[in-house]
Amino acid sequence: MPFVGYDAVILTTPVPRTALKSDHRFTGSELMRMRMAPNPLYFTPDESRALADFIDQQDLQAAGWPGRLAKT
């Protein structure tokens, strides 16, 4: 049976949608295109790197993002 691992990390400071909406790097993202976005959202590698700019470094470490972002 296929298996997808997932570890949720609660962010120290949530990223408001308005912050992403004002950033040109998210203009074409699924989050901005869809009025009622699904959960989880799909972000391209570039959008994921841009999202990392809004997330506390400790939260990125806890989620294992530094290693994942290096692969994209």
In a domain, 6, yes or no: no
- pLDDT single digits (tens) 7-46: 677 889 999 989 999 999 999 998 888 878 777 778 888 9
The residue with greater pLDDT, 58 or 40, is 58
3-state secondary structure of 72: coil
Total domains in the fold of the chain: 1
In a domain, 3, yes or no: no
In a domain, 59, yes or no: yes
Question: Which two tokens mark 72?
Answer: 């994209």
| Alpha carbons within 13 A on the beta-carbon side of 48 | 16
The pTM score is 0.75
